[in-house]
Amino acid sequence: MAERAPQAEALAASWMESARPLGMRVYGLRRRIATIAVTMLASLLFVHVMLGANGMIVYKQKRMEYESLQRRIVQEKKENELYAQKIQGLKTDEKAIEKEAREQLRYLRPGEYVYVPAAAANPAPPANHSAKK
């Protein structure tokens, strides 16, 4: 092994000499290389922030969905309030109870009559013949 040491040292020295110009060139361009690397990293980070799984585009979509749901909640609350008022009216107001009984259950007071128009025996023919096809 000791007899091959000079050959190994010579081989290492020749590699060092052949790699030295490349090393000097890289050393001279180190700022430019670092600037390019940082720019690439910043670009990739920007793309990830904008288009990633939780990026700005997804955030804006979720924000619009949130606002839509908030508007729907307000609308549903108003509708619930109207129903609550109607229920309260039906529990306490005699006229409201009578109105609902007359309209939905078709209740009548003694001596009242309900007139129901007869249904048409023959429906009107269609204006054009395309309905027959």
Please tell me the predicted confidence (pLDDT) of residue 52.
Answer: 81
Report how far Cα 104 is from the mean position of its chain's Cα atoms.
42
Round to whole Å and give the CA distance between 95 and 6.
117
Coil vs helix vs strand at 102: helix
Distance (Å, whole) CA 87 – CA 92: 9
CA 112/CA 107 separation, integer angstroms: 10
| Residues 109, 98 contacting (CB under 8 angstroms) | no
Q: What is the pLDDT at residue 2? A: 72
Q: ∠ CA(38), CA(43), CA(47), 5° rounding?
A: 150
Could you identify the residue written with the tokens 């269609």?
Answer: 126
**Does the pLDDT value for residue 77 go beyond 90?**
yes
What value does the mean pLDDT of the chain take?
85
Query: Structure pTM?
Result: 0.46
Cβ contacts of residue 58 below 8 Å, gap of 6+? 52
What is the arithmetic mean of pLDDT over 58-85?
Answer: 95
pLDDT tens column, 29-52: 889 999 999 999 999 998 888 888
Q: Is the pLDDT of residue 28 over 80?
A: yes
Contact 57, 51 (CB under 8 A): yes
* pLDDT at position 130: 65
